[in-house]
Amino acid sequence: MSDIGRAIGRPLMAVVALGYFSLLAVFLILWHMSPVLVLAFTLGGIGLMMIALRPYWGLHVFVMILFFENDAATGEGVTAMQVIGAIIFSGWLLNVALRRKSPGRLNSLTLLGLLFVAWCAATLPGALDVGAATHRVLSFTQMLVASLMFASVVDDRDKARGIFTAIVIWTFVATLIALGQYYLGVTPVAVGPVGNRNLLATYINCGIVCAYLLHQATAHRAARILLALSLPVFFLGLELTFSRTGLIVQTLALVLVWYRVVREKGFMILTGSMAALCLIALLLPAGFYKRARTIVPAIQRQEDTFGTRVRVWKTGLRMIQDRPIFGVGAGNFSIGVQRYNRGEVPLVGLGAHNAYVGVAAETGLVGVGLFVGLLLAALARARQTLRAARAAQAKDLEMFAIMNEITLLVFCMSGLSGSVEGLKYLWLLLGMSFALGKIISVRAGALLALRAASQEHVGSWKLAPGDSK
């Protein structure tokens, strides 16, 4: 922030804070508002001011709430994530206003994201349920803002490391809670505060990727030990979700991660984690193996929950054939199932269980094209960052780029049997791809300037031996 910005911003913040708390006093004394609500507004105001001054703190709160939002409903369908998210976004926008700086660059994330949201809005007139479509458009708008916030605020390697470390920490906490609930008999499978075993499995897969590659990018011995010790907990938690999709994605993710670990000569972490995985496999309950053995038959015979998903996908394809341009309206898939399922009662009210079929059915082929374009743009930016970091010999940024790339691939693969397009976690990763690209571009520019400065004397004009006489 410039000196002028500080001179104006700090008094303005003081005036806003004074006015806010004066208003709360009026609510409490004159309007006799509930003290609980006044306390909530007070804490919200304090949080807003803190995030306006330090928006990076808001990102950590955002990451934490991702794992607990389903357990924190405040009533009437409002979740803590919606309330806290509004505070985080407002604080960030206030920070942007105080700094008098654009919140982001016009890049493929901004362009494709705005086009995607605009196209979702264009489906409103023909939506089966305009109210549901409006709510979905607003949700996508919030998630795009979240992506831009991460791309804007995460502007150095320490902040990037902090976000990926927070992902590992909160995944670890959620997995421990899930394991505790499972072994205490509270839940039949590991779901934890996330509330859904397939979703928890996806989160754990991302946590595994981050733990492995943070281990490669960290020099601190204690941190490396803690990251290594988190892996057995992640492995056990994922297997006890009994998520067949999670197991398939885990196999593919581990192949990608282990390839990178071998390239970095991380043979100790690789050997230790593989041994832990083998030991865990021996200790798993019989129900896990019974569940795992149904993967191939369920796919071949299209039975069990996979068979239901296939029928849902066929219903989604009928929606696409009937409305290929605008679809049935954003957020209207479960409503459209009732019209296009040809009397199959068990399908009524089901979601798409496939991000690509779901987005195509709801927003048409243009909408799914923009959504896939967003994913590809983020993956391309991660790959570009990887190459630039390798050229600049920035080992940690290289690992961060690989980490972001593989976690995005985890979501892309999970999207084949799950509706991941509406997950805030995915949009966080989209923003992080562009944040890492911005960080490495600054690093590469500084490196080029340093090399140019060191080469200034090369080829410069010198006196000939006879000219000095």
Structure tokens at 126: 């023909």
pLDDT of residue 199: 93
Structure tokens at 365: 């082929």
Which residues share a beta bridge with 75?
A: 78
CB atoms within 10 A of CB 286: 7
CB atoms within 10 A of CB 134: 17
Are the CB atoms for 343 and 337 separated by under 8 Å?
no
Please provide residue 74's backbone torsions phi and psi, each rounded to the nearest 5 degrees.
-100, 0
CA distance 436 to 432: 6
8-state DSSP, 242: T
Are the CB atoms for 193 and 70 separated by under 8 Å?
yes
How many CA atoms lie within 13 Å of 71's alpha carbon, on the beta-carbon side? 14
pLDDT of residue 226: 95
CA distance 98 to 44: 19
CA distance 380 to 113: 15
Measured CA distances, 265 to 47, 252, 269, 271, 392 (Å): 44, 20, 9, 11, 20
CA distance 44 to 436: 30
Residue 288 CB partners (closer than 8 Å, separation 6+): 239, 240, 242
pLDDT of residue 461: 44
Residue 195, phi-psi category: left (phi > 0), alpha (psi -120 to 50), beta (remainder)? left
First to last CA, the chain: 56
Are the CB atoms for 238 and 204 separated by under 8 Å?
yes
SS3 74: strand
Are the CB atoms for 385 and 397 separated by under 8 Å?
yes
Are the CB atoms for 174 and 64 separated by under 8 Å?
no
- Rounded to 10 deg, the angle between the 244-263 and 197-217 helix axes is 10
How many CA atoms lie within 13 Å of 221's alpha carbon, on the beta-carbon side? 0
pLDDT of residue 352: 82
Measured CA distances, 346 to 48, 117, 196, 311, 331 (Å): 45, 32, 20, 10, 20
Which pTM does this prediction carry? 0.85
Structure tokens at 214: 């943070």
CA distance 416 to 439: 32
Are the CB atoms for 122 and 24 separated by under 8 Å?
no
Specify burial of residue 28 (Cβ count, 10 A radius: 0-12, 13-18, 19+): middle
pLDDT one digit per residue (tens) for the chain, 469 residues? 444 444 445 565 566 556 665 666 665 666 555 665 555 656 666 667 777 778 899 899 899 988 987 654 444 445 556 677 778 888 888 777 777 666 666 788 899 999 999 999 999 999 999 999 999 999 999 899 999 999 999 989 999 999 999 999 999 999 999 999 999 999 999 999 998 999 999 999 999 999 999 999 998 999 999 999 999 999 999 999 999 999 999 999 999 999 999 988 888 999 999 999 999 999 899 988 888 888 777 777 766 777 778 888 888 899 999 999 999 999 999 888 888 877 665 666 677 889 999 999 999 999 999 999 999 999 999 999 999 999 888 889 999 999 999 999 999 999 998 889 989 999 999 999 999 999 998 776 555 555 555 555 555 444 445 444 4
- Helix/strand number for the chain, H first, E second: 18, 2
